[in-house]
Chains A and B, each alone.
Chain A
Amino acid sequence: MNASFTITIDNQSVEATPGESLLEVCRKANIPLPVMCDFKGLSPVGACRLCLVEIEGVPKLLPACTTLVAPNQAVHTQSDKLRKYRRMIIELIFSERNHICAICVANNNCELQKMAYELGMDHVRFPYLTPVCEVDASHEKYVMDHNRCILCTRCVRVCSEIEGAMTRDVMGRGFDARIITEFKQPWGDSTGCTSCGKCVQVCPTGALTPNDAAQGRLKKNPELVALLIEKREAKP
């Protein structure tokens, strides 16, 4: 076991163990950090850029989820610049596809919506791009509405890393990137999907939902997946 050491986060001394990420340390110390793509137990990808922090002596902003702790690190999570950038990022996500809460099944049960409140987003200053995306309702239990997808790839990772089915991936690039099932076939035709529903539970928006959810009535239970991951990692 490696000896733990102390780092400073927002002028507060925090204990850290080698190999931990800054995000993990923040979570243990109850220091709030906004995250969209990260999900505890899944491999971090550093894609949403909301958990960017400033580290003294490092010229660029680094994502807390993929940056490992190092002795004598001095981290700042709440500068004016970071707050400004985070707000712009969440606005960019809202501008990208269709995130109109009033007509979404995930209304009031949505991590994206919650994040927008937390970051103080009162309006979106960028033009809405809202491309017309597919809605895949071919699965017997679930629906994938690409119009609500923010490409956090939690579903891709939970499917390969926890369920082991590797049903999902990303296709295309840039603004045209889409989550696909198998080789871009309708979800219902997938022979690899085990219909376990973990992707639905970890999806932070209304992109993946059970097909019987009515507007605003969606119940998701990501904690169940988190618990499952924890149990799998625990040594008997």
Chain B
Amino acid sequence: MTPHLILQALQNSALAAAIRGESEPIRLTYWLFPIIEIGHVLSIALVFGSVFMVDVRLLGLAERNSTVTQVSREILPYTWTAFGCAVLTGSLLFVSKAEQYVHNLQFQLKFLFMFLAGVNMLIFHRGVYRRVLDWDRALPPPTGARIAGALSIMLWIAVIFMGRWIGFTTNQ
């Protein structure tokens, strides 16, 4: 099966038709897309809201009385749980118009920015975070940590912008 055929099969599935609001009873399936979308918004809100708290601490801008490990241990479980919900709801939205989304520039950019956010996180963890106990309380935090925090905030904001733009550049 070529990728093109897989996308077509996804989009032609009964699930996709229901999420598009095309299957009976339409007065019920009309609400599927908005409800899943609201679930997606709540999920990404918690992803960004929580990761922002960690990033601001990595920048040394706020929460200066708490250590980096304290903040990340407390907050990152929220980020990962919410990210899981965002993937689930996002997949359902994707299936409904799979072909249209993969060809959408904003959709492609959104995934590029998410990939870069992941790379940034990986470099941070393999690098400066290994010796976190040496700078847990240090203010300002080391340059590597501050760069990682700043990049993370910028990339996730870019992800949100592209996500919102998808809705303006695809058909209902």
Q: Do A and B bind each other?
A: no
